Amino acid sequence: MALSIAATLLLVTGVTLLIYLIKWWSKVKQKNLPPGPTPLPILGNVLQISTTEIPQSLVKMSKTYGPVYTIYLANLRTVVLVGYDAVKEALVDHSDAFSDRGDTGASEFLTKDFGVFPSNSKRWKTLRRFSLTTLRNFGMGKRSIEERVQEEAGFLTKKFMMDKDAPFNPTYMTRLAVANVICSIVYGKRFDYEDQKFLTLLSYIQDILELSNTRSGQEKKNPDTEFHEANLEGTIFDLFFAGTETTSLTLRYAFLILMKYPEIQEKIHKEIEIVIGKDRCPSIEDKSKMPYTDAVIHEIQRFADIAPMGLPHAVCKDTTFRGYHIPKGTMVFPLLTSVLKDPKYFKNPNEFDPGHFLNEKGFFKKCDAFLAFSAGKRVCLGEGLARMELFLFITTILQKFTLEPTVDRKILNITPEPNTNASRPCTYQMKVLSRL
């Protein structure tokens, strides 16, 4: 009897496995998919991708399979786009098909797919439109966004001044300053850097939900509305975390790079002296008169490359792209690192060179391949705020200080920290010397 049960279980298992393999193979062998490495059942192509250096693994794979290819992350079919031409063609020229958000499971875990970033269809359109309108109108306060950034840059300067007599790691301070800008917009107030509530807010995601307790404007009697508590919490989560970590990471790269190249820092100092002087705080209006500073900030963003994978997209319908068939629901990774480091558009893609954004007369020049904020309908919601923050924070700090390394500049490492998927700079300490 026991033998009979065991045989039955073995048979059922074998049949189930066979059915799975047949379905798997039929999925993998669908006609006219973009090329790619042969996947393994269950694992897909996971074993062929470095788990600690995923972006570079995917760029390297394109050398074999081209700028548009297919991989499988376990059972999840994914199309990878490499280089500016392929990414722009998909996200901009075919934005109607490539503008869904890809589902990796992370958004379901963090926000249950509520909020503007992970959502799709009607919810995404409604929340994105509302969020953009709110930021533009600045409905949560009477002061302009620029004034809030200027104020916070001033507080960061004071903090630097307090710590100028000893080396310090800027990570903590930059995160506090950038987070305070978001708090000022989302919650209507900034926090002292020693405020325990603020520190707890940065430490625990749950506090975001506790502080976002307003119910004003919820359409409780409309069962079809997207303006409800879950979407409010999800959107605040999006704005707070995306707006804090990305800009603070870029500032950390900026300080490191400026210490590495003192001649670049000195040129910015001279431009600040000519355009702004010492007696007033920098304004966003100054940027158009400071082409070298603008070029350096663009190059910092390009070189730092803090979102090398980009955020996952998905095709919302069966799509023909460059002659290939991409089925509805397929996840798409537009590799932003391959755009920002595209040798077709940047002469020295792996070197830090402000000349990438300067013409022969020293004027600022735009580059189509500068997609630090992605492109198309899913372009970063906070692009305008981030650009403003980077300019005002960097110029305010450099107006007051010269940044100095604590080690020989020759050994300063401006490449990403190893085994982090190229997501953050190496840890460092710095000193500041007053210019006043």
Q: What is residue 284's DSSP assignment?
A: G
Distance CA 381, CA 134 (A): 11
Residue ranges, comma separated, of all CATH 1.10.630.10 domains in the chain are: 114-296+348-436
List pLDDT tens digits, range 163-222. 777 899 998 899 899 988 887 877 777 888 888 877 776 665 434 433 433 333 374 444
Instruction: Give the number of other Cβ atoms within 10 Å of residue 24's Cβ.
Output: 17
Lowest mean pLDDT of 45-54, 236-245, 325-334, 393-402, name the range: 236-245
Contact between residue 201 and residue 193 where contact means Cβ atoms under 8 Å apart: no
* Long-range CB pairs of 382-385, under 8 A, 24+ apart, other chains included: 382/135, 382/239, 382/242, 382/243, 384/135, 385/135, 385/145, 385/181, 385/185, 385/243
pLDDT value at residue 84:
97
pLDDT at 66: 96
- For residue 345, the model assigns a pLDDT of 96
Checking if the pLDDT of 143 tops 80, the result is no
Q: Which DSSP string do the residues of 324-362 spell out, in sequence order?
A: EEE-TT-EEEEEHHHHHT-TTT-SSTTS--GGGGB-TTS
Mean of the per-residue pLDDT values for the chain? Answer: 82
Q: 20-54, pLDDT tens digit by residue?
A: 555 555 555 567 999 999 998 888 898 999 888 88
pLDDT for 131 beyond 80: no
Contact 406, 167 (CB under 8 A): yes
Residue 319, pLDDT > 90, answer: yes
Read off the DSSP letter of residue 68: E
22-105+306-340 to CATH, choices 3.30.43.20, 3.40.50.1220, 3.40.50.2300, 1.10.490.10: 3.30.43.20
> pLDDT confidence of 251, banded at 50, 70, 90?
very high
Which residues share a beta bridge with 334? 81
In b/e form, how buried is each residue of 257-290, taking b as 16+ CB within 10 angstroms? bbbbbeebbebbbebbeebbeeeebbebebbeeb
Domain 114-296+348-436 CATH (choose: 1.10.630.10, 3.40.630.30, 1.10.1450.10, 3.40.50.150): 1.10.630.10
Predicted pLDDT at 85: 97
List pLDDT tens digits, range 87-117.
Answer: 999 999 999 899 887 665 544 444 445 444 5
> What is residue 36's three-state secondary structure?
coil
